[in-house]
Structure 1
Amino acid sequence: MHPDWLQIDRDHVWHPYSNLGSDAPVFAIASANGVRLRLEDGRELIDGMASWWCAIHGYNHPVLNQAINNQLQRMAHVMFGGLTHEPGARLAQRLVELTPDPLQSVFFSDSGSVAVEVAMKMAMQYWIGREQPTRQRFITLRHGYHGDTLGAMSVCDPVTGMHSMFAGVLPQQVFVDAPTCPFGGTADRHAIDAMREALNTHQDQ
């Protein structure tokens, strides 16, 4: 027995990584607790993906719920452009304490893809500020995944990744093999040398 709203979902919702014309089923979730998702029909699933890594502490966690409720009583959201608030400042301070020197500043992003985009823009803005605006390419590791926005897709592996259909519109980056070091073994010097060679070859790009 499907809930009546599931047909509304079929008619109007385009789910991520799906074909709009596909009849592939989606699971109707009624509630979530810990690592378990309860379906509308009463069955339970274990969410091994942790809601795309966003629920690593589990669903309905009492400490997180209380913190969210407390914050909602004060304000749900205020943009950071020209404004600030104590929770944001305190979080930035804590993150700086956890990171090595000389990192002293925090830029907050709302997703991993956006964080990658911002980091890439920061790097390009640095070279623009140094009056070297043509230095726009990035060296990135093969078999990597960094997000689904255009800039982030450009540094994902173009062969083994999931964005091959966009190859004609993405900026062309430099890909090298990731160095490997088996447990108890030694590092793959060839891959490290290949990285050095790529840096030397493309340093002005």
Structure 2
Amino acid sequence: MTIANRQFQVTDAATLHALVRAQPLATLVVAHEGSLHVNHVPLYLDPTRGPRGTLVGHVGRGNGLWPLLPQTAVAVFHGPQAYVSPSWYPSKAVDGKQVPTWNYATVHAHGTLSAVDGDPERLRAILHTLTEAHEAHRPHPWHVDDAPADYLEKLLGAIVGVELAVERWEGVWKISQNRSDADRAGVVQGLRAEGTQPAADMAALVAMLQ
């Protein structure tokens, strides 16, 4: 993972894609006629479609997003995040000139968002893709075709597919890489002592820099 210390930017595609797969619930933002439309939509990344991949998902037909499409959009994926106390820095004992901060990892996918409507087979394929991605690790995975055919047809009529053709990826990993080795070690120790999963997840990221 390559990170620029000042901007905390990550450009490695494999790292960005891994976070998207691990945290698929995206904050999907579209600007239209001076207003921002924000939705929270699970999106699946198909890296084989387009030069930078395509994100696919669906929304309810009653959602006001899809009639606005196609539009430029950004999907924000949120990774580990945690508060960082200045009391964890050994350097605080030198002059006390330390303040709290927040560590986080995020991915922004910019591109053109379009609707998939009027194509039942294509929409059905989206449902299969999403379901198989999230059920694959289960001992007894649920399959779309497990649902009664008439029920599934009614479901297909109640949703609209969305696809974001990614044109640009942005990754920001702010994980104490601008601190000294000693301060980073203090952050790892402090986060682990919090005893929460989010803090432990962030501690694991910071520890990668040690």
Q: Which has the higher contact order (CA 8 A, sep 6+)?
A: 2
Between Structure 1 and Structure 2, the one with more strand by share is: 2
**Shared fold per TM-score greater than 0.5:** no
TM-score (norm 1): 0.21
| TM-score, with structure 2 as normaliser | 0.20
